[in-house]
Amino acid sequence: MRIVLALIAALWASMASAQTLQDLLQADPEAISDPSRRTVGEVLDRLVASGLPEVPTFLERWQAKEVVQRQSDGLFFYGTKEGGGHVLFDVSSGEEVGHSGPREVDELRPNAGVRGVIGSALIQFQLSDPDIARRQAALDAIAKDPAPEQLEPLRASLEGEDDPGVLARKERLENLLAARFEADPEARIAAIEALGSDITVEARAVLNQILSSEPRAADAIPAEANVAWKLTPGSDELPREAAYVMLVEAGLAPPRVTENAIRDALVAALAGGKVGDAPVATLGSDEARHAAYDAIAPARGLPPRISEEEVDAALGSHAFWQDYAEKDAAITGAAERALASAVTRVSLYQAADIALDAISLASIYFLAAIGLAITFGVMGVINMAHGEFIMMGAYTGYVVQTLVPDYTLSLILALPLAFAVTFAAGVAMERLVIRHLAHRPLETLLATFGISIALQQIAKNIFGTQARPLTSPSWLDGAWIVNDVLGIAYIRIAIFVLALLFLGLLLFILNRTRLGLEVRAVTQNPGMAASMGIDPDRIAMLTFGLGSGIAGIAGVAIGLYAKVTSEMGSDYIVQSFMTVVVGGVGNVWGTLAGASLIGILQKGIEWFNPSNTLAAQTYMILFIIAFIQFRPRGIVAMKGRAAGA
């Protein structure tokens, strides 16, 4: 007998293990062919519990409306339309098993609600799928539509996850779900407190959902209520009429009779030219109409009018408050603290992000202005064509890139070549124009302004009016991302590093070389420098060429960040002059200080008024005008001829 029972048990186990996916589907075919949110759960539980490897594929294709049922025998297949019928594939093996005519199968089209339930069941398979893309897709689905039933499958998938990036995201999503759906209050509070250090939008959204509340009204605030804050009728948070409407909706006060209702009631009561005892001719004011309504209301069974005094009395005798949807005060308290911590961190990172942007902008202004600061400081020349030297450097970089397709090599070649081209152009301009207009600032300004227009037109004739691309190397693509708030593009970091290199190079030239000594001598006292054997004209030529060459290198750097057009120089000439004037004429440190001040000021104003950059620039110019009134020689004042200018 024992042997017989053992054989029966073994046979039963083998039959159970031999159960196919089709067998499971045929156990309740109607729940597959015509599912609802109420019945589909049982089917999904059976499919998941079976452990069959083909279940995830079936769920995916069922959700995608790719399952059909043959009318003749009720069997389920994967169906692909072909001609007027379908190509049928076995649900277990996926192999093609035949074709069907136009009306031999029914296409299964689960509604959106059922597809959502299927998707939730499918996620637990996808979370442990060998394909990392499918695991990431499952995490995307959870992040998009989180649900309580996703928490346990997500936790179960943590142990077997071998990808560090996916594991980190799973752990973060697990914490977000636990903060919202964890059944254990202590574990939920711990998850909420962990969100205090998470500044992502998703974390703050979860905390705000936990802290969601709605206005309530009652005779008194219930002892079990979780009060977010009390409301005062008549305040900005709760206008007087809105407060009374709350009482009416809660059944705590009668509704007010509207003016339209009063008018309709008076029209209905009109008889013989009177409304009650009041002639129609006397009903020209609100007070008269209200009195007539009050007179006819009792006899006609109309609701009485609510006076303003009655409204005030009703509002004064009831309590109004904002009630948390979450009834556990410990949980909402933890969420409030976590949200406050997250907001503080976001503010700090926003300040750091603005500071990085300001430093980046200051480095651009420094590169654009340092050449102008040198020429202006030594020669006292207001060079309105300085922006066009920036433009010439950018176009030099563009030409080099067209000849050398390797962006890294072309950038290495473009920097010295841009310096050489603009240095030569600057020397030619100084020899041909500037030297003949010495000590005549107005004529010099007009001449250089004319030269700037001519250079712009020449650039248009050569390169056209469309912006030309100056592409940065691939290693400068992307950005350094610290978190969702703080980040900076690699190209901005490169420009900042370039500005630091130029700062060091110029300080070395001015302080450690004979040329620098002669430049400083001519800047401070040109007459004395000439008496010591220094040729001021030669120094002026070399200085003008040096300043122009630096502008050319700045053009290459700026071209990697901004558009390269014939007018790009005019975008920086005003800021360059402001940088030089604010910082102090002819001083490297002054130019650095001026660029830093203007960069920080512009970004700060844009932060207060981000939708109007033109207004931000206007405010910045007004500030600089006021600043110059108090310190006309700039932040770092110079001595000698530059100071006298």
Q: What is the pLDDT of residue 53?
A: 83
d(CA 377, CA 133): 61
List beta partners, residue 145: none
Position 370, amino acid? I
Inter-residue contact 250 to 217 (CB < 8 Å): yes
Structure confidence at residue 612 as a pLDDT band (50, 70, 90)? low
Tens digits of residue pLDDT in 516-549? 888 778 777 777 888 888 888 888 888 888 889 9
**114 versus 395: which is more confidently predicted?**
395
The answer to whether 32 touches 25, Cβ cutoff 8 Å, is yes
Residue 96 has pLDDT above 80, yes or no: yes
pLDDT score for 417: 95
Checking if the pLDDT of 437 tops 80, the result is yes
CA distances from 252 to 123, 228, 284, 299, 367 (A): 47, 22, 34, 25, 71
pLDDT surpassing 70 at residue 10: no
In degrees and rounded to multiples of 5, residue 297 shows phi and psi of -60, -50
368: tokens are 């654009």
Predicted pLDDT at 472: 84
Domain locations along the chain: 21-116, 127-210, 213-324, 346-644
Rounded to an integer, the average pLDDT of 93-112 is 86
Question: What does the pLDDT look like over 391-413, one tens digit per residue?
Answer: 999 999 999 999 998 888 999 99
**Torsion angle of C-alpha atoms 149, 152, 155, 159, degrees rounded to 10:** -130
Instruction: Note the pLDDT tens digit of each residue in 188-207.
Output: 999 999 999 888 888 999 99
pLDDT at 439 over 60: yes
Q: Identify the bridge partners of residue 79 per DSSP, sorted by sequence position.
A: 88
pTM for this model (two decimals): 0.70
Least confident of 176-190, 262-276, 294-308, 611-625: 611-625
DSSP SS3 for 85: strand
Strand partners, 69: 76, 106
Residue 601 pLDDT more than 60? yes
> Is pLDDT at 14 greater than 60 in this prediction?
no
Tell me how far apart the alpha carbons of residues 601 and 181 are, in angstroms, rounded to a whole number. Answer: 46
Which pLDDT value is given to residue 57?
85
**346-644 CATH, one of 3.40.50, 3.30.160, 1.10.3470, 1.10.287:** 1.10.3470
- What is the distance between the alpha carbons of residues 490 and 352, in angstroms, rounded to a whole number? 16
Mean model confidence pLDDT for the chain: 85
Q: What is the pLDDT of residue 343?
A: 92
Side-chain half-sphere CA neighbours of 556 within 13 A: 31
| Per-residue confidence (pLDDT) for residue 9, from 0 to 100 | 44
**Residue 496 pLDDT exceeds 70:** yes
HEC assignment per residue over 561-585: HCCECCCCCHHHHHHHHHHHHHHCC
Cβ-based neighbour number of residue 228 at 10 Å? 20
**Cβ-proximal residues to 549 (8 Å cutoff; 6+ apart), any chain:** 371, 418, 419, 420, 422, 423, 426
CA distance 635 to 590: 6
DSSP string, 497-526: HHHHHHHHHHHHHHHHSHHHHHHHHHHH-H
Give 18's pLDDT tier (boundaries 50, 70, 90).
low
Which range, of 115-124, 133-142, 236-245, 246-255, averages the lowest pLDDT?
115-124
- Among 400-414, 503-517, 544-558, which is the least confidently predicted range? 503-517
DSSP per-residue letters across 250-296: TTSSPPPPPHHHHHHHHHHTEETTEETTEEGGG--SHHHHHHHHHHH
